[in-house]
Every structure is written in structure tokens, then in C-alpha cells.
Chain A
């Protein structure tokens, strides 16, 4: 097996196919569309904020409150939209980089209230990959191959890092089922805060009634996260991607937390779409056998 990271992630030497071109463009479309969606949803929320509770990231170095209570944030989202579309349609070298920097500022303003979400990190890293690819590579095919490979790299790095942090912060007792009970109760309170009422689903009921089941769910999650770095390698990529997707479905069922953007991206990156498109195209182009 070839263990070269650059060969497995970027495949610069591989002949190009129609399926790969369509796949790369689809990933790029996802990266741009999700960035526009995040920018506008964050910008609309920023207008109702008036005080910084916890400065995150770039907010530790600049006064992010200048974006509060005015039309500055929506204006930035509009500028980001312009650069995002220029990057997508005209392949301007620096357009994605400018759009990405604006997105970083909007994130810092939106999440200055104490919450530290991670639901948009994967989409943000994917967009960064396209920004870097466009800025560094003049050859479009290489730029896009770098971006898609960077997305797989970020995905593996993020999940495996999460497993390490859990083991460092809590130790081997992390998958104790009682910890899942704590999180289910915590999320139940969030649901009461969100809607005013609470209804537990069957998976939550089972997890709360069985320590073994709760522990099993956490063990599956931790092991899947730990081995997520195997998405860097072609041979193991798709199996691990499906397990990570299963992990997210489990998180949704057990804790009512849905990382929609991450799940869409996992479906996009987690199936061999390029090969499927090429297979379908080859079948369509094959001459029909003559009927005697």
C-alpha cells in the first residue's frame, strides 16, 4: 500500500476524468454555498448582539463589537457573497481568500456570546482549502485536487484530534455510560429552553435506562473518532467516512445535536461519486448490442 500522504490526498499524477471534474466542482459548490449560508445567518444574528461575553479567535485581537447593532455585518456578508461568486464563476485567484477572511470575522462576532460551536469548522476548512488552492496553484485541476484533498485531511485531523483531546481531558473512563446520561440531560434542558417542552426519543430512553447501551454508544463514538485519520488513505477512506457519518447519526439520536453542514459534506465526500459518475457515463456511451 502506498502510504504517501500527498499521493493519497491529492493524486496529482492521476489522469483526469469527467467524474472527477464533476465531483470537484460539486465540492466547490458546497464550500461556497455553505460559506454564503453561514455568513448570512451569522450576520443576521450579529445585528441583535450588544456585548461581548467571550472573545474567540480573531476577536481577541480586534474590537469585534463594532459589528453589533448595525448593518455592518450584513454589508460584510454581501461583500463576501460577491467575492464568493467571483471565485466560483471567474476563478479569480484571491477572491476566495478575501471571502474566507470576512467569514472568519463574522464567526468571531457571531460567537462572542460564550458558545463555542464546531458545526461549521469542517465547512470552514473546506472553504479554506479552495482559497489556498486558488491562491497557490495556477493550474485549475491541481488547485481543485489540492482543495478536495485538503478537505479529507481536515476531516481526519479534526475527528482524530477530538478523540485525543477526550482521552487527555478525561482519560480511558471517557466512554462511561453515565457521562452520556449527563449529556442527554444537558441537551434535554437545551430543548426545554428552545421550545419550552421536552420529549425524549426512544434512543435516549434506552440509553438512559441501560448503562451498557450508553457505554456502547460512547465506545463506538470514541473508536470511530480515533481512527478517522484513515480517511487520508484511499483504501480505507470510504469505510471510515461511513462510520463517521454513523457517528453523527448516533449523536443526533442520542443528544439531539445535528451538524447538518458536516453531514451533507460527509455524504458528499464519503461516497465514490467520481467513480459512480464515470461508470454511469461509460455505460451510457457503450454502443447497444445489436439484436439479431
Chain B
């Protein structure tokens, strides 16, 4: 069709009917795939992000504990974290991936710990040790209480799981 040309009315009418059919089929597939797959079947989604407002959240923070000695497995605050700051971006890891990996893992098998080590040290630890904290935020009245719980050390000192999480 060249610029300025009006489409044939018959063709346009058929195109409308076809588009309606395609849109209907897509909507049915969209609804069914989302319904049986917890609302997610990329690129289809019910977009549940930020839907459960006020719920406790869980994230991860990494600390370089190469020079920190024995690990204290007690929960702490963000202000009192041991070791030095360690940015996941420095090793090309995605912190949200790590947060989900750490918070959604229930059974810390040796394979699962090694998978975490691979994400944090994709090219080997080079003498470094990283302590992963599971950080939780809870709404209490008009403030947000944030607590950091040590989960696992990976790297030069070996892979050490928190005694609380050992099977």
C-alpha cells in the first residue's frame, strides 16, 4: 500500500475480523497460561509486583569477611554488619537474584551452596571470603524494622553454613 492510498474496504473488513479472532485467542491463551502458572508465563503476566503492600520483605547483603576471623552467627542490624562492604555488581551478579536465591532456599544442600559460590565468585574466590546475610524488613507501627541474619560463608575459608540452617 503506497502512502495516501485507502485500503480496499473489503480487505479492511476482513482484517478487522481476523484481528478480533487473533486478539480473542491471545486473551484466552493469556488467561489460561497465567491461571495455571501462578500468574506468570512470560511475556504474559498478571503483574503482581508491589501488590502485597506492607508484607515483610527479604533481601540479601554480602560482606567481605576475609580478614574478620570467626563468624558470629547472631542476627544484627545494617549498621553493625561485620567485615567490609561487598557489591554484587563488582562480580557481575544480580543482587535481586541473590536475594531470591538466599531467601527462597529452604534446603541448603552442598550443591545449592556451591551454586551460590559460583554466582558470587564466577572466576574463583582469589583468597576472598563472603558472608551472605538474609535481610528482612517488617513494618512495625510507623517504622520499618530491618534485621540481618547471617546465612552462609563462601570462598577461601571454605563453605560454612549457619548452624541454625544445618540439616
- Give the residue name and chain of the B residue nearest to A187 (CB): B59
The answer to the question of B126 belonging to the interface, with a C-beta cut-off of 8 Å to chain A, is no
- A13 pairs with B12, CB closer than 8 A: yes
Interface contact B11-A142, CB-CB below 8 Å: yes
Q: With a CB–CB cut-off of 8 A, which chain A residues contact B59?
A: 186, 189-190, 193
Known: A57-B37, A142-B11, A193-B60. A174 touches B53 (CB 8 A): yes
* Residues in B neighbouring A50, C-beta threshold 8 A: 111, 114-115, 118
State the CA gap A145–B18 with chains docked (Å): 13
Per the 8 Å Cβ criterion, residues 10-64 of B in contact with A are 11-13, 15-16, 18-20, 22-23, 26, 33, 37, 40-54, 57, 59-62
Size class of the contact patch on chain A: 35 or more
Which residues 26-76 in A have Cβ within 8 Å of B in the complex?
Answer: 45, 48-51, 53-54, 56-58, 60
How many whole Å from A33's CB to the nearest CB in chain B? 16
Interface stretch of the complex, out of B65-73, B84-92, B149-157: B84-92
* B95-A21 in contact (CB<8A): no
* B50 contacts across to A, CB distance below 8 A: 166, 183
Contacts of B94 in A (CB 8 A): 45, 115
CB distance from A28 to the nearest CB of B (A): 16
In the bound complex, how far is the Cα of B12 from the Cα of A141, in angstroms? Answer: 11
Q: Give the residues in chain B near A145, CB-CB below 8 Å.
A: 15
Q: Are B4 and A149 in contact (CB under 8 A)?
A: no
Q: Which residues of B contact A159 (CB under 8 A)?
A: 47
Residue total for B at the interface (Cβ-Cβ under 8 A): 75
- Chain B residues near A13 (CB-CB < 8 A): 6-7, 9, 12
- Asked if B166 is an interface residue, CB under 8 A from chain A, the answer is no
A interface SS class: helix
Contact with B along A178-189 (1 / 0, CB 8 A): 110111011001
B119 contacts the other chain (CB 8 A)? yes
The reply on A289 being an interface residue by CB < 8 A is no
Q: How far is the CB of B139 from chain A (nearest CB, A)?
A: 6
Using a CB–CB cutoff of 8 Å, the interface residues on chain A facing chain B are 5-7, 9-10, 12-18, 21, 45, 48-51, 53-54, 56-58, 60, 104, 107-108, 111, 113-118, 120-125, 127-128, 132, 136-137, 139-142, 145-146, 149-150, 153, 158-159, 161-162, 165-166, 168-170, 173-174, 176, 178-179, 181-183, 185-186, 189-190, 192-197, 211
Further 5 A-B residue pairs, CB within 8 A, beyond A115-B94, A165-B46, A189-B137 = A12-B13, A12-B16, A115-B96, A182-B139, A192-B78
Counting from the closest, the 9 A-B pairs by CB-CB distance are A114-B100, A124-B43, A196-B85, A193-B95, A162-B47, A179-B53, A196-B87, A169-B51, A51-B115
Name 10 interchain pairs, CB-CB below 8 A, sorted by A. A15-B5, A56-B40, A104-B42, A107-B43, A114-B104, A136-B22, A139-B11, A141-B1, A193-B88, A196-B90
